[in-house]
Every structure is written in structure tokens, then in C-alpha cells.
Amino acid sequence: MSKDWKKRTTLVHGGSRRSQYGEMSEAIFLTQGFVYDSAEAAEQRFIKSGDDEFIYARYGNPTVRMFEDRMSAITGYEDGFACASGMAAVNGALMALLKAGDHVVSARALFGSCLYVLEEVLARFGVEITLVDGTDRAAWEAAIRPDTRLVFLETMSNPTLEVVDLKFVCDLAHEHGALVVADDAMSTPIFSYSKACGADLCVFSTTKHVDGQGRMLGGIICGSRELVRGPIESYLKHTGGAMNPFTAWVHLKSLDTLDLRVRAQAASAMQIAEALEGHPKIEGVRYPQLPSHPQHKVAMAQSPSGGTVIAFDVKGGKEACFTFLNALEVLKISNNFADSKSIVTHPATTTHQRLPDEQKVTLNIGPGLVRLSVGLEDPEDLIADLMQALDRI
Ligand SMILES: *Cc1c(COP(=O)(O)O)cnc(C)c1O
């Protein structure tokens, strides 16, 4: 694998390993174990396994390793550990690095399950959590302390698309000796800027853009070799969060087209965001590439794109919003995002239902909020569908 390859070449060839048969398409090694030539060889491998030496699929597998190498190459990190889901990756990264008595600062606008891991799981093990408004630099400065061990954030928050000034937060964390774990699910591996801004670890739900076709659950933690093959691998290989080889194989196939898919979806998202902005039945279209987005400048300095997801409020609250959602024909009501099929979600009653009302208010998750994940359909059909459904309110 060449370090000089551009992203699109790496997406097709990065990390490829071929067996003695010289197969063109990546092989799927559906094996949980490996055979050793001798008892001495088995002993040796348990002392130290080399690059292409495996022990057990919970520790590593050739198909999974191809996926890990390709993902770390495209995100700019040295190594990666692939996990069973995005949450296995988030939980694994945090549990591997934290211990009782540590302090964590996290942006408040988080995916519901990430918030659960911080507030319910880590707190139960004696980790102290301070939640801040991720878009407020002064709030980060006020929250970070000499005993802060780790900073967690979503580079672009789900579902309200708040954008964190990542370089500022990484510099601040590093001054205080804290590690930064960035959840890049919304930013996509194509437009990821976590490495460039200095995040120590970058976590993806590969269920999202990497699979991109609503089939597989997966996740990955990318970072330095020291962290990934050190505490991260040790924790995950013994606690069972590993990715299944079949998932890794489907993901490898998906990476071939990732750049084409994400760019097409992001271009459609911008077109749709512009079409929705100013519509009389909508207020507050949130899309980082629109100049009206509160963190537009920071977002555009970090990434050339606003991503594939838009958020907006339908005027008239839940009832008007449900009328609109139920009238859509091409767009489907579901709770995944980054699928090739466009999806609308009502966060207040689904993904964020669990949150108390006052927390919904702080997070701007109102009764009219819609999260729109833009797929690969023709954007003109999507705009026509959205407009006819708005007319039905
Ligand atoms: C979806 C998502 C996750 C969890 O990923 P799964 O693959 O569903 O486990 C974590 N963080 C963010 C920001 C997400 O959008």
C-alpha cells in the first residue's frame, strides 16, 4: 500500500491482502480460529503475533484487518480496531482509556446512546462527567481541569448539526494532558478532519456512510498504533466487541464507492437545504454549508462540505410535523441515516424520546424538528416530494 495514494485509490486498494490464489475481490475469511504448524509456533504466536498472524477472530481476522487498514489509511491514522457496531466502538474507546476518579468533559449535544454511556455507564464506575455546550469556546475553557483525562464530542452533532471548533478543543485538551475522542459519524470518513485537527482517536459508526445501504452494523476506532494496539485492542479483544468478518467484507465492498456516494449525497443535501430555506411552513433550516448556520465559518474552515444530513423545524409543532411526515412518498420514515434511501426522523418522539423535556429544550430538539438524511435519489424528486408534503399541512 502506498502512502502517496489519494483517497479514492486508497478506498479501492488500501489494505488489500491476497491469498496464494491471487483473488481479485477481497477474500472473506469466515473463520474464528487459525491452525499452527507446531505447538512451538502456537506458543510463539501467543507471545507475539506478527502482522499477518492471527489467533482468534475476537482478536483479529484477515478480512477485518483489511478493513481496519483501509479505514485508517483514508482517515490518516496509523491503525484501527473494527467493532461490532458504532456503540461498541464508542463504549470500547471510553472504557479502555478511563478509570474511576477520572474527569471527562463532553459536548452536550450527543447521540442518545453516547449520552447513555457517559451519564449512566461511566458515572456508575466513578468517572466524573461535565457536559458543555460544544459550540461555546468559553464553556470548554471553564470545564477543563488538570485532572481531565479525556474529552469527547461529535464533530457534527446528531440530530441538530452543531459544529465544534475541533482544533480549538484539541489544543485546549492537549495543554491539559487530556486525550480527545471525536465521534465522526456525521462528518463522514470522506470529509473527516479529526486527524488534521489533532484528535487522538476518531470513532465511526460504519453502519452509517460506510455501509451506506442500510445492511450492516459496524464501527471502528482509528488512532495511533500505540493507543489502538495498546489499551484499545487489549480491552476490546477480551470483552468481545470485535467486528464480524462478513461485515468487514461487505464494508470493504462499500468503501469502493464511498467517495462517489458521499459526494453525491452531500451535493443533493446542499440543493435541498437551499430549496427548504425560507419555505413559509418551515423555520430554521440547519445545514452547515448554508451561510445562516450558526457555526458556518468554523464548519467551512474545517470541511469542504456540510455533510449528508439536514435538520429543520416544521411550524405548528408535532401535529403539523406528523402530517408532513405521513404525506411523504419517496422519503421513508426511519431512524437510521446515511442510507442510499432518503430518510426522515422525528427525534423528539424516537431517537431522543428518553430525554426529559428540559433537556430537549437545551438541545433544540423541539416537537417540530425533522432530521432529513439525504440519499442517492434524484434531488429533484426529493424536493418535489418534500414540497407536496409541506403543502398538505
Ligand atoms: C449511529 C451513531 C452511533 C452508534 O452507531 P451504531 O452503529 O448504531 O451502534 C454513535 N454515534 C453517532 C454520532 C451516531 O450517529
Q: Which domains does the chain have, with CATH numbers?
A: 7-254 (3.40.640.10), 260-391 (3.90.1150.10)
Count of CA atoms in the C-beta half-sphere (13 A) of 240: 0
Whole-number pLDDT of residue 343: 98
208 Cα nearest atom in ligand 1: 1
One digit per residue, the tens of pLDDT, for the chain of length 393 reads: 667 899 999 999 999 999 999 999 999 999 999 999 999 999 999 999 888 999 999 999 999 999 999 999 999 999 999 999 999 999 999 999 999 999 999 999 998 899 999 999 999 999 999 999 999 999 999 999 999 999 999 999 989 999 999 999 999 999 999 999 999 999 999 999 999 999 999 999 999 999 999 999 999 999 999 999 999 999 999 999 999 999 999 999 999 999 999 999 999 999 999 999 999 999 999 999 999 999 999 999 999 999 999 999 999 999 999 999 999 999 999 999 999 999 999 999 998 888 889 989 888 999 999 999 999 999 999 999 999 999 999
Cα 111 to ligand 1 centroid, rounded to whole Å? 7
From 83, 85, 87, 94, mutation site for ligand 1 pocket: most ligand atoms within 8 A of C-beta: 87
87 Cα nearest atom in ligand 1: 9
Cβ neighbours of residue 8 closer than 8 Å, sequence gap 6 or more:
259
Whole-number pLDDT of residue 362: 87
Whole-number pLDDT of residue 2: 65
Residue 204, SS3?
strand
Cα 384 to ligand 1 centroid, rounded to whole Å? 30
From 205, 254, 363, mutation site for ligand 1 pocket: most ligand atoms within 8 A of C-beta: 205
Inter-helix orientation angle 62-75/245-256, to 10° = 40
From 111, 211, 371, mutation site for ligand 1 pocket: most ligand atoms within 8 A of C-beta: 111
185 Cα nearest atom in ligand 1: 13
Q: Distance between CA 271 and CA 267 in Å, rounded? A: 6
* Cell numbers for 261: 456516494
Cα 278 to ligand 1 centroid, rounded to whole Å? 31
Kindly report the pTM of this predicted structure. 0.96
**b/e string for 109-127 if b means 16 or more Cβ within 10 A?**
bbbebbbebbeeebeeeeb
Cα 86 to ligand 1 centroid, rounded to whole Å? 5
